[in-house]
A = this chain, B = another copy of it.
Amino acid sequence: MTTLDSRNGRRLTARGEKTRARIVAAAADLMNVQGVGATTLDDVLLASGVSKSQLYHHFAGKDALVRAVIDHVGGRVIERERDALGHVSTIPGLRRWRDALVQNNALRHGAYGCSLGSLASEVSDQDDAARRAVSQLFTEWQGLLAGVLRRLQDGGTLPPEASIDQLATGLMGALQGGYMLAQTARDVTPMATSIDMALAHIESLLLIEPTPDQATHGAVILARDSVRAHQSPSASGS
């Protein structure tokens, strides 16, 4: 049986689809650790154990492959974030999301940064179609954050006047900036601190006082946020 390839109308067998997926997965990994520019097609062929003709059978060229990698990586990130954020409707839930990201990044000492963010900054000024794709994914990701905030608002935790979209943008900015600083410093700490500042801001808007072991409303320093509670060792950067 053959299915129809959505992107170019060519017929695709199960085997072909598997090969295609193998190529994209290998390329995604390589581009994540080496960067897009530093990843050659030969690298991809070697890593995926596929011949050159197959690559060109499935992709028009490197640009098309990069486009596919963006979709693939983006899909994974969105799926992961949907799982992590889709049903969060409390501040502690948001903090657990933060902890997971920080801990995960700590495993690599910040290396490689955000899989989507790295692609974004390398591709944005080179390939406009790719840039738009990444931008769209960021928007979707940010929408998931906005969803959490909206649930907080609907539940009466955040005041109705709070601008959900702007808070989500700020949180996203802090997250991406944190990834970048951590990548450059090879240390998660700045990432943790950046996100914590955004979360502290959001918490400062809360209508309902948090539970005792949580943030004190109007607290003055950030330090508290970085050494407290269900804190994983990750924040210490090791």
Which chain A residues numbered 197 to 224 have a C-beta less than 8 Å away from chain B? 197-198, 200-201, 204-205, 218, 220-223
Q: Chain B residues near A143 (CB, 8 Å)?
A: none
Total A residues in contact with B, Cβ cutoff 8 Å: 62
A36-76 at interface with B (beta carbon < 8 Å): 36-38
Q: Cα distance A38–B200 when bound, in Å?
A: 40
**Is A169's beta carbon under 8 Å from chain B?**
yes
A223 CA / B205 CA spacing, docked (Å): 13
Q: Which residue of B lies closest to A39 (CB)?
A: B37
**A181 beta carbon closer than 8 Å to chain B:** yes
Q: With A and B bound together, what is the CA distance between A154 and B191 in angstroms?
A: 27
Q: Is A157 an interface residue, CB under 8 A from the partner? A: no
Binary B-proximity of A183-204 (CB < 8 A = 1, otherwise 0): 1111001110110111011001
A176 to B197, CA, bound (A): 14
- Tell me which of A120, A166, A184 has the highest count of chain B C-beta atoms within 10 A of its own C-beta: A184
Classify the interface of chain A: helix, strand, loop or mixed: helix
Residues of chain B lying within 8 A (CB to CB) of residue A34: 125-126
CB of B124 within 8 A of CB of A113, answer yes
Whether a CB of chain B sits under 8 angstroms from the CB of A33 is yes
Asked if B125 contacts A122 (CB within 8 A), the reply is no
Chain B residues in 8 Å Cβ range of A102: none
Residues of B within 8 A of A120 (CB): 180, 183-184
- Does the CB pair B163–A223 fall under 8 Å? yes
Instruction: Report yes or no: B161 in contact with A126, Cβ–Cβ below 8 A.
Output: no
B125 and A33 within 8 A (CB): yes
Contact mask A146-185 → B, CB, 8 Å, 1/0? 0000000000000101110011011111111111110111
A-B contact list, 27 entries, CB within 8 Å: A33-B125, A34-B125, A37-B122, A112-B125, A113-B125, A120-B180, A120-B183, A121-B183, A124-B183, A135-B185, A162-B220, A162-B221, A169-B190, A169-B197, A170-B194, A170-B222, A172-B181, A173-B177, A173-B180, A173-B190, A173-B193, A173-B194, A177-B179, A177-B194, A180-B180, A198-B201, A205-B220
